[in-house]
Structure 1
């Protein structure tokens, strides 16, 4: 159970520097206010008087502070992007730079190259000095202008680099692995007594960061996945007993598969890691699919990449540079099993397999994600300038918050098989709630 002390944000010290931002102390017409350091966002907005009372837990509200820890005129900031690609990375880089450069007047902002490798002089490419000209149109492009990589670097080496380059603020843009790296950097900085703020911006199309309602890139990924699902539906309907099989990203969580299903409304089976997949038996997936083909002569199946690990337990398990296990490829395996099962019962089938994973994550952000990225980036800058550290910017109950990174990486968020999102998917597809 979450406790009040779990959400306490670490700060580098008292804030005594007046902010250069032209904001008000109180809400005024046309002048947005500063956010008080004591402003909070309630963790639970619903309660049931019949249930035992739980302790009130609040997140610190994100936003610009009237007093800063750092003097903006003497600050050197740095931005690093890590992990896999995600729509919106360039938007975050651009908005963070613009907030630092124009609104706070920070004289130098560095872009560290190729993930955390950019903090290790032994392997690093030279940092980029960000300028208005360099970031001018990067938000129109997918990928990241800074480059990215997976995998950690020695934390002592990274903190040595920050100290030797006189970097005061480090914005770490990435998912679970990136945030774990940011936590290690922040803790080593504090152990040494250095005054360097480390703030995370949550990036993952999987949307699996704990205590963060939404991560940037997910909405764009859902948009692109929907396009593929609609194409798969056209392919399936145009063939006798056609099956459009689409694999989407989702190593541990099925948010993309579930939300793209609801957006498309053309999916008949949605397979996610949170619901164990049973292929065989009278109520298994293959037999349910066979009955669907006999009745309707077409079907669309979307499968998240993390599905079926128990079915592929004998396959060799690889890990990426961050140490994350790479799930065996469920897509071709599932396609072969569908074909074999239908052949066994003399049912002709035409399976079209789609794997749009890299297309989905490498496109530019859509309008919704672009707006969201802008807000996340600016809130990250506000937090860092106020000396907040070992913290990630989040969204909770529609309000931007500051979540301690140790709390954010304490687990992974999942689709709740008993929750409203999955219930909506079941209503949309008509599939059974589980495979037995």
Structure 2
């Protein structure tokens, strides 16, 4: 069968919608006679290196459509150390007759796109590179938001809304909920939308964009105790002091991946020790990025669309680009895709802007809530007679 061959490589942690983007790539590829095969690299770039490629375009459509609802990565992902391996990767792409590579991931994966494109240019071969954005952290530059964020934000917001109901029912302690977010507090900020569930939102939200002040934190918690008797605090896993030191020593660091200690446990212990009050910690961890039960439907649609847009961009002859998502101005939410040079997004972390964080640094602004609401979707509203 004549036509070009696409190779999809997943990088970094999965999201609740990474497979929706994969589905979009395969479905769009099968819709064009110019595309012969769509392959998936088993376990990320290592799949290319060891020759384990999965022919996705040969699979039945009834099986492929189930990708839209599958958590994790259906082809596997990884955090492979690729420095020094790019020339060999190009040789393997040529050997396997790959014409288009679609790395799917965050700003680190976009760096892989840029380095792979450089190696391809140096080798003088005709292979295109199109990056597909993916991250629950929402820290990719140059785009309105990343596929994967809306679902992580919805999970965090609804889960915290449910915890708020619990604490509202029996206000005898402070509950500290820790959410993922290494350097950016996008997911933590989204928990402010829990207030739409009808039992109030988190009383305090601490994000890594602001240095953690232990005295201020304890004073904030004491006010909750004095006025309400109980409350909910949300904290990003990447909280740090003014000198950049994490508030809890990381358990382990491998390449760019940092495995943080239990921030929520540390904060709840501070409350118990210094304020003499009941506190407990909750840490959803991977549940926050794996849940398909609480994912955002707009996130699913947009993830599929960026996959389809990547194929269309490749067919148009583009290379060295990442598919972007831009919000269409207006009262009604809508997005459109565009193409962004990977040089503009590689290894750049997009943080919460100051306009989204309140003056005290322990919550968000109405502007953030307006921005985030359509990404999360309508949350359930819970009844209470209290």
Shorter-chain TM-score above 0.5:
yes
Residue matched to 1:243: 174
Shift of 1:405: 0.8
TM-score when scaled to structure 1? 0.74
Residue matched to 1:318: 252
Shift of 1:166: 0.8
Alpha-carbon distance in 2 for matches of 1:327, 1:98: 38
Judge conservation of contact 2:3–2:35 (CA < 8 Å) in 1: yes
Shift of 1:150: 1.1
Which whole-Å deviations, capped at 9, do the CAs of 1:289-330 have from their partners, x for residues lacking one? 11221111111111111112546468356323x433344432
Q: Secondary structure at the match of 1:375?
A: helix
Which whole-Å deviations, capped at 9, do the CAs of 1:344-374 have from their partners, x for residues lacking one? xxxx32x232111211111235311111012
Judge conservation of contact 2:7–2:101 (CA < 8 Å) in 1: yes
Alignment of 1:351-362 (within 5 A): 351-362=279-290
Alignment of 1:34-433 (within 5 A): 73-121=2-50, 124-133=51-60, 134-153=63-82, 154-264=85-195, 265-280=200-215, 284-308=216-240, 310=244, 312=246, 315=249, 318-320=252-254, 322-343=255-276, 348-349=277-278, 351-364=279-292, 365-398=295-328, 399-409=336-346, 411-417=348-354, 419-420=355-356, 422=358, 425-426=363-364
Shift of 1:130: 3.1
Unaligned runs of 5+ residues in structure 2 are 329-335, 367-386
Alpha-carbon distance in 2 for matches of 1:135, 1:415: 36
Alpha-carbon distance in 2 for matches of 1:393, 1:421: 28
Alpha-carbon distance in 2 for matches of 1:313, 1:226: 24
Alpha-carbon distance in 1 for matches of 2:32, 2:363: 44
Alpha-carbon distance in 2 for matches of 1:125, 1:373: 25
Judge conservation of contact 1:228–1:356 (CA < 8 Å) in 2: no
Which whole-Å deviations, capped at 9, do the CAs of 1:217-245 have from their partners, x for residues lacking one? 11111111112202221332233432121
Shift of 1:402: 0.8
Alpha-carbon distance in 1 for matches of 2:174, 2:256: 35
Larger helix proportion of the pair: 2
Shift of 1:410: 5.2
Q: Which structure 1 residue ranges, 4+ long, deviate > 6 Å from structure 2?
A: none
Structure (1 or 2) with the larger CA radius of gyration: 1
Alpha-carbon distance in 2 for matches of 1:293, 1:314: 24
Shift of 1:249: 0.9
Structure 1 residues 410 and 110: alpha-carbon distance in aligned structure 2, compared to 1, 3 A threshold: closer
Alpha-carbon distance in 2 for matches of 1:426, 1:106: 46
Alpha-carbon distance in 2 for matches of 1:352, 1:314: 17
Which whole-Å deviations, capped at 9, do the CAs of 1:10-55 have from their partners, x for residues lacking one? xxxxxxxxxxxxxxxxxxxxxxxxxxxxxxxxxxxxxxxxxxxxxx
Shift of 1:422: 4.7
Judge conservation of contact 2:239–2:247 (CA < 8 Å) in 1: no
Alpha-carbon distance in 1 for matches of 2:218, 2:247: 19
Which whole-Å deviations, capped at 9, do the CAs of 1:76-109 have from their partners, x for residues lacking one? 1111111101011111111111111123452211
Alpha-carbon distance in 2 for matches of 1:313, 1:261: 23
Unaligned runs of 5+ residues in structure 1 are 1-71, 429-436
Judge conservation of contact 2:130–2:322 (CA < 8 Å) in 1: yes
Structure 1 residues 421 and 181: alpha-carbon distance in aligned structure 2, compared to 1, 3 A threshold: same
Q: Secondary structure at the match of 2:35?
A: coil
Shift of 1:111: 1.1
Judge conservation of contact 2:185–2:208 (CA < 8 Å) in 1: yes
Question: Cα RMSD (Å) of the superposition?
Answer: 2.2
Alpha-carbon distance in 1 for matches of 2:138, 2:267: 25
Alpha-carbon distance in 2 for matches of 1:384, 1:330: 43
Alpha-carbon distance in 2 for matches of 1:139, 1:273: 32
